Amino acid sequence: HMYTNTPWDNHFVGTAPWLVTDPTVKRNWVQKYIMPYVNPFILSFGLYGNYMAHLVEVCKGNEVISPWKLLLPLEMCAMAYRWGLRGIALMYASHAILGIYYFTMALMNHNAENCMDVKKRNASQDWGEAQLHASADWSVGMPFWAAGVYLWLNFHTVHHLFPMVDFSHHHAIQRILIKTCEEFGVEYVVGSPVTIYKEMIKTFATPMSLMQEIMVYGGGI
């Protein structure tokens, strides 16, 4: 999603209306006071949400049809046939753990407070700086193998800047990125995973840039 945190970003509305990530949209009472705090339950259905979203795109002809698409429903049918409701419950439990684990960190990558500053993003000098203003990293400097606990998503800004580079190089590029940003006076915001998680909850509940317009091509882009 190269137009990160803009109307052209399909990830931007992926959790709506349950979790609203657009900083320019007012939240209703439920979206403000309930949904941000029960987000693990919502994300437990993330795998199914992604599956259905992809299925819709397949039906529209925007995605390639593959026989592998049948694997998930066939697996669920097999579990239900062999173990009944217990089988379905086991499938949901495994998928819930996967969904909460992955989607929590994926949302942290783009929903920290600095990612919701539309004014700053619109003023970006180029596409690269816009990615820095729309992404968040944590545990900077962590060794490659140790970062596996975060599925290497703590190097996510590097992935946005260099999407074709293998992720095994991200930890090394991150060190260069930090020095380059210092050299050119470009802000690169990082934090602890706990801090960014708390900021994510806050941005779910509160529109940080209300009454502002997100420019896809902001500043010098």
Residue 7's pLDDT band (cuts 50, 70, 90): confident
pLDDT digits (tens, 9 = 90+) for 30-44: 999 999 999 999 999
Q: Model pTM?
A: 0.92
Residue 157: partners with Cβ closer than 8 Å, 6 or more residues away: 131, 132, 135, 136, 137, 174, 177, 188
Q: How many CB atoms lie within 10 A of CB 209?
A: 19
**What are the contacts of 160-165 at 24+ separation with CB within 8 A?**
160/2, 160/4, 160/131, 160/134, 160/135, 161/128, 161/131, 161/132, 163/2
What pLDDT, on the 0 to 100 scale, is given for residue 219? Answer: 60
pLDDT digits (tens, 9 = 90+) for 108-142: 999 999 999 999 999 998 989 999 999 999 999 89
